[in-house]
Amino acid sequence: MLDHGTQGCIVLPVYFLATIQFLNFVKYRQIKYVLWSFILFTLSCLSKPMAVSLPMLFSIYSIYTQQKLKWKDHLPLIPFYLISAASAFMSVYSLSSIGPIKANINHYNILQKTVLVFSEIGYYFIKPFIPFNQQLFHLFPAEHKLLVDSDIRFFAYAGSLITALIVYQTFIKKNKLPGYLFFAWMVFLVPVLQIYSNTHSYVSERYVYVSVIFPVSIVYILLQNSTIKAPVYKYTLIVLTLMFTMLTFKRSSAWKNSKTLFEAELKTDPGNPIALNNLGYYYNVNSNFFKASELLKAAVKTDSTNAFYLNNYGWALANTGQTDLAIFYFKKAVAINKNYTEALNNAGIAYMQKHDIEKAAGYFKRAYAISPSNADVVFNLGLYYYNSNQKEFGLPLLKKAYELGNKRALKYLNR
């Protein structure tokens, strides 16, 4: 599976190539260009669902450049909209399959939702110009805290003023280009505005790249139509570019790896359970279980109903000699998510540590029934049968585990 960074590196070039081919179609009206654009757009949707906004951007561009469009002028975009709808549906379905997100925009009333949306608009518009106090997670606050949260209020005011300025320029000053760009930006931004909740953060630093092009273009156009002399904002742009380049290099050091990223996040928000869990997971993977245990204990204390936190904490406890306590947390994780393969498998391993073979086998069998292609689960169940003198069941499973990538199985297959 590709990580977000790799997906972003793939989707952006393909996305822009699809745009270029569509612009060629608008200019030359040759079917080959719209076909290439459609193929590239489909590939970009397969890379990342963020690409679903492209057909609407094409429509906005066509309306702005041609003003009067006949219905048949939109026909070439129908396949684009169909792919966009299919991609959006699959994204929503995949999000629903992982269960409900505990804190999301659906918990607020209409006034709170409106404030939050304007706050998101303000955040994504301003951050390209003021990239300070960067924070990876901006968790949804409790309902009674939302309207008094200083950051949310500041960005909500900013978002409201920006929207009002665009409306004024478009309808009063008859300067339509900023309005079209703002509307296009809003379309581009819809997937990350949390209208359909898909994360615990109401805004996210990793989506700021979505903001860069449109706000900068809008501000540049507004400056061109102001009384400010051109050399002033042109030189200012050069200075800002140099400053932002240095800030980018500085911020990129925090994104060096999981350790640096989540350590930086905890400096900003020490009680953030997501950062505590992710940093704890990093230490688990690197076998620093005592350090992991401290962080994961704090994450579980903050949110004791998160199965991932419970499982990771149990993992750390099992590797620091606290097997009984580890089993307790694995069972809690399974109680919350009965199909949580990793927690079932870990519970089985913990019972193996206690030499309670039959209870271990019960958890391995449950895990295998859910994930028969999980190499570790297959290996553990196969090893149980192998050590229980049931090699007729154990050896095929160990062979399957080896084929799935578990190299430890080879030791038993060679005997």
Q: Does the pLDDT value for residue 353 go beyond 70?
A: yes
Whether 77 and 19 map to the same domain: the answer is: yes
Instruction: Indicate the residue among 196, 224, 252 that finishes a domain.
Output: 252
Predicted confidence at residue 248, as pLDDT, reads: 79
Instruction: Indicate the residue among 252, 284, 302 that finishes a domain.
Output: 252
Instruction: Indicate the residue among 47, 69, 99 that finishes a domain.
Output: 99
Q: Kindly report, residue by residue over 111-134, the tens digit of the pLDDT.
A: 999 999 999 999 999 988 887 778
The CATH number for 315's domain is: 1.25.40.10
Q: Does the pLDDT value for residue 7 go beyond 50?
A: no
Predicted confidence at residue 31, as pLDDT, reads: 92
The range of the structural domain enclosing residue 193 comes to: 100-252
- How many folded domains does the chain comprise? 3
Q: Does the pLDDT value for residue 11 go beyond 70?
A: no
Whether 310 and 378 map to the same domain: the answer is: yes
Mean pLDDT of 362-385: 96
Predicted confidence at residue 250, as pLDDT, reads: 81
Q: Does the pLDDT value for residue 324 go beyond 80?
A: yes
Whether 42 and 105 map to the same domain: the answer is: no
Whether 112 and 85 map to the same domain: the answer is: no
Whether 246 and 288 map to the same domain: the answer is: no
Predicted confidence at residue 196, as pLDDT, reads: 65
Predicted confidence at residue 221, as pLDDT, reads: 86
3-state secondary structure the chain: CCCHHHHHHHHHHHHHHHHHHHHHHHHHCCHHHHHHHHHHHHHHHHHCHHHHHHHHHHHHHHHHHHCCCCHHHHHHHHHHHHHHHHHHHHHHHHHHHCCCCCCCHHHCCHHHHHHHHHHHHHHHHHCCCCCCCCCCEEECCCHHHHCCCHHHHHHHHHHHHHHHHHHHHHHHCCCHHHHHHHHHHHHHHHHHCCCCCCCCEEEEHHHHHHCCHHHHHHHHHHHHCCCCCHHHHHHHHHHHHHHHHHHHHHHHCCCCCHHHHHHHHHHHCCCCHHHHHHHHHHHHHCCCHHHHHHHHHHHHHHCCCCHHHHHHHHHHHHCCCCHHHHHHHHHHHHHHCCCCHHHHHHHHHHHHHCCCHHHHHHHHHHHHHHCCCCHHHHHHHHHHHHHCCCHHHHHHHHHHHHHCCCCCHHHHHCC
Q: Kindly report, residue by residue over 171-222, the tens digit of the pLDDT.
A: 999 888 999 999 999 988 887 887 666 677 888 877 777 677 888 888 888 8
Predicted confidence at residue 2, as pLDDT, reads: 37
Whether 355 and 298 map to the same domain: the answer is: yes
Q: Does the pLDDT value for residue 3 go beyond 80?
A: no
Mean pLDDT of 215-238: 81
Whether 175 and 278 map to the same domain: the answer is: no
Whether 216 and 86 map to the same domain: the answer is: no
Whether 89 and 105 map to the same domain: the answer is: no
Whether 208 and 275 map to the same domain: the answer is: no
Whether 212 and 280 map to the same domain: the answer is: no
